[in-house]
Structure 1
Amino acid sequence: MSVPVKPSHHTESNVSTPSNPAAASQSPDAPLSPGIHSFEVGGITQRYHVYGSGPFCVVHSGGPGIFWDYMRMPLLEQHLTMVYVEPIGTGDSGRLPSHPHGYTRDRYSRFLEVLINHLGVPKVHLLGHSHGAFVAAYHALYRAERLAGVVLYGGAPVTGPEHGEEAGRRVQEFAAKHAGHPGLADVLAAFGAMSGMSDDESTVAVARGVLPSYFANYWDNEERFAPIRDTIRATYISGMDEDLSPDLVDDRAALKGLEVPALMVVGRHDVICGPRWSQELHELIPDSRLVILENSGHLGHVEEPALFSDAVRDFVLQTTGSESDTAR
């Protein structure tokens, strides 16, 4: 992507001081100094956040359109330098001229390529969650030059009718399991409203509405999980290109040739991208690894944070090629 990149860095007063002295001694303007950063890509702002120390892991959140902050992973920040991307179209990153259309995997990947180059390190690991896992898979397939590994968290090799039917079946299982619960009707109504999303307000309402189904058992842990539900933010992204054609996915053939080390992480109770899909990804991708979190849904990094963090940390440390890969 040949576009001008103009840095515009910011620091954040409440960022924890990293344990790595080298990171702490960096200039606040360095691309990997702790805090908030942004730069211009072809006139569009790309914003990201840096926490922690150690090998570098770039994180792409899901949706598309869900703001980045639900992906904060403090346990991983104790071992890795976590670079949380605000995907274009969300938060304080810029909007495309074609907004809410045009946010294809290829475009997200192009912005990731510029961001990873901007960080100035030889290689990084890329972790994508949900829709972000589709983006991460695409990036690993077609722009892998600076990837040491990829984590496909709650992803799948396909979208479209087959994926939708499986999700529908899983939602029915969720409904049967929680039949009679007073909150179930609202969750099912939110799923019914999903196809009618057309603006930021309706997108936030749907995201918060369906969220109880994204946990293995939300209502038995509501005091713990309700604050996450209440703070979810989102932008409406149509899922279509500028010409209003859907950005459909079928990576099954291509993934057989993926050369980047890959880890799949999925919750046993995930209704959106359940274990079937991560198992299929694992079978498609040569020499890949699969971790199933037995007591999680779609948000294992929240439900079983220690197990999730151990799996990702071990994978990153084992697939970091050399000390030069983590040199600042």
Structure 2
Amino acid sequence: MHIEAADPLSTGSHEVVVDGLIQRYHVYGSGPVCLAVPGGPGVFWESLRMPAVEAFLTMVYVEPLGTGGSERLGSHPHGYTRERYTRSLIALLDRLSLPRVFLLGHSYGGFIAQHFALHHPDRLRGLVLYESAPVTGPEHMAEAAANVQAFVSRNEGHPELATVLAGLEASGSVTEDEKITAALRELLPVFFARYWDREEEFHGLRENITCTYISATDENLAPDIIDDRETLPTLAVPTLVVVGRYDVPCGPRWARELHALIPHSRLITLEDSGHLGHLEEPETFADALRSFAESTGA
């Protein structure tokens, strides 16, 4: 049973009301506060847990509206735009009574974090764009397809490769939570640099990860277009860009572009990681975040 603690930053699960809906968030660690927004959209927040970072930052893992235990819009699965998610983060910061925090966005969460930083830079001490990109659409899909082919080449002959590729194909067409969760579990090795070399280590994640289907449209079924290339050069927030060398959906090309677009940003490449470097190289990942946080005066 969920019990709301008096302190909104105490360890454990909490709730905040956003647009009349309950959004859950989860607090672990100590030190300066960092909001963490998971990807997908719709992937369960717990896959983003990063205990090595919790040693020096208070991590507030957001469970976005429409996902997991947070409530859904009446227009579900539509309407979860970056503007709405940004508004929900503002409500969370107000609930926590925090004027400025670090914000980390992973994958699709990075798109949200970019949008937040561009519209509310005064609320941030620093921004971490983790496996993100400045744009979605045909360019992004073509690059991901090329990265999939590289993954296939590296793992040619593996007996499970066909199953992984079937899950990847299914993920683009299914719209039910159970089916998209099943597809995510099948394709999960794509998100790692060397999944089968470390299968025992990551098997639990593959068995337990869940996903809610969230569309890429607003309430009126209009696409929520993402292309921040013109505005990112105006970003004045200290920014760290983190990418895995073998990331498929948001690979090094996009990290280099983000780094080039954002003034004075830092770029860290995790050399033995795919899309989940906080799990594949946790200490290297944590060291990069610690150095970045310290550089901002935290």
- Give 1:87 deviation, angstroms: 0.7
Q: Which amino acid aligns with 2:179?
A: S
- Measured in 1, the distance between the counterparts of 2:95 and 2:253 equals 36
Name 2:120's counterpart in structure 1.
143
SS at match of 2:274: coil
Contact 2:242 2:255 (C-alpha < 8 Å) held by counterparts: yes
Q: In the alignment, does 2:134 pair up with 1:157?
A: yes
Q: Which amino acid aligns with 1:10?
A: I
Which TM-score applies when normalising by structure 1? 0.88
Q: Which runs of 4+ in 1 moved over 6 A?
A: none
**1:163-178 correspondence to structure 2 within 5 Å:** 163-178=140-155
- Measured in 2, the distance between the counterparts of 1:181 and 1:254 equals 43
| 1:222-242 Cα deviation digits (max 9, x unpaired) | 001111111111111111111
Contact 1:34 1:50 (C-alpha < 8 Å) held by counterparts: yes
Contact 2:168 2:184 (C-alpha < 8 Å) held by counterparts: no
Q: In the alignment, does 2:12 pair up with 1:30?
A: no
- Give 1:320 deviation, angstroms: 3.9
SS at match of 1:152: strand
Q: In the alignment, does 2:285 pair up with 1:308?
A: yes
Contact 2:93 2:99 (C-alpha < 8 Å) held by counterparts: no
- Give 1:33 deviation, angstroms: 1.3
**1:161-200 correspondence to structure 2 within 5 Å:** 161-200=138-177
| 1:141-195 Cα deviation digits (max 9, x unpaired) | 0122211111000000000000000000000111111111011001111111122
Q: In the alignment, does 2:45 pair up with 1:68?
A: yes
**1:23-172 correspondence to structure 2 within 5 Å:** 28-172=5-149
Name 2:212's counterpart in structure 1.
235
- Measured in 2, the distance between the counterparts of 1:320 and 1:66 equals 32
Q: Which amino acid aligns with 2:127?
A: V
Larger CA deviation: 125-134 vs 231-240: 231-240
Q: Which amino acid aligns with 2:35?
A: V
Contact 2:16 2:91 (C-alpha < 8 Å) held by counterparts: no
Name 1:10's counterpart in structure 2.
3
- Measured in 2, the distance between the counterparts of 1:256 and 1:317 equals 24
- Measured in 2, the distance between the counterparts of 1:66 and 1:169 equals 23
Residue segments in structure 2 that go unaligned for 5+ positions in a row: none
Name 1:279's counterpart in structure 2.
256
Aligned length: 297
Task: Using the aligned pairs only, state the percent identity.
Answer: 56
Name 1:215's counterpart in structure 2.
192
SS at match of 1:253: coil
- Measured in 2, the distance between the counterparts of 1:171 and 1:150 equals 28
| Aligned-CA RMSD value | 1.1
Larger Rg: 1
Which TM-score applies when normalising by structure 2? 0.97
- Measured in 1, the distance between the counterparts of 2:84 and 2:57 equals 27
| 1:77-125 Cα deviation digits (max 9, x unpaired) | 1111110100111111110111000011111111011101211123100
Name 2:235's counterpart in structure 1.
258
- Measured in 2, the distance between the counterparts of 1:249 and 1:40 equals 26
Q: Which amino acid aligns with 1:222?
A: E
Contact 1:264 1:289 (C-alpha < 8 Å) held by counterparts: yes
- Give 1:317 deviation, angstroms: 2.4
Residue segments in structure 1 that go unaligned for 5+ positions in a row: 1-8, 12-27, 322-328
Equivalent in 274, 279, 282 of residue 297 of structure 1: 274
